[in-house]
Amino acid sequence: KQEVTQIPAALSVPEGENLVLNCSFTDSAIYNLQWFRQDPGKGLTSLLLIQSSQREQTSGRLNASLDKSSGRSTLYIAASQPGDSATYLCAVDSGGSNYKLTFGKGTLLTVNP
């Protein structure tokens, strides 16, 4: 059974700092891995999706990497801004006929002005 762990559970940084969020998964036979953002009281917004054959994906100030063999992914946020404050969720698609995502508990990020 796939399990996804995210470290740290919470992170508080000053504005402008570069930061890394970590995600690990127990079964390396994955189809893809996604990072989502969730603002308080709202649903999830997909940020980046990395296919199992890829090593990284970039979107603006965000860069996600994937090391499938070691069961790890990182989300790098450059030059953080207060608007980046949210919960960041990692989810793994382990394949199969259904698009069944296994989520981590998330990292609550607070960027202080």
Partner 1 sequence: ETGVTQTPRHLVMGMTNKKSLKCEQHLGHNAMYWYKQSAKKPLELMFVYNFKEQTENNSVPSRFSPECPNSSHLFLHLHTLQPEDSALYLCASSRGVGRRGGGTDTQYFGPGTRLTVL
Q: Which residues bind partner 1 (CB under 8 A)?
A: 4, 32, 34, 36, 41-46, 49, 51, 89, 91, 93, 95, 97-106
What is the nearest approach in angstroms of partner 1 to the Cβ of residue 112? 24
80/107 with CB nearer partner 1: 107
Collapsing DSSP to helix, strand or coil, 84 comes out as helix
Asked if residues 94 and 32 have their Cβ atoms less than 8 Å apart, the reply is no
What is the nearest approach in angstroms of partner 1 to the Cβ of residue 11? 17
80/91 with CB nearer partner 1: 91
Q: What letter represents residue 52's amino acid?
A: S
Cα diameter, the chain: 45
45/112 with CB nearer partner 1: 45
2/63 with CB nearer partner 1: 2
Contacts (Cβ under 8 Å, ≥6 apart) of 60: none
What is the nearest approach in angstroms of partner 1 to the Cβ of residue 87? 10
Q: How far apart are CA 88 and CA 109, in angstroms?
A: 7
Asked if residues 111 and 18 have their Cβ atoms less than 8 Å apart, the reply is no
What is the nearest approach in angstroms of partner 1 to the Cβ of residue 79? 26
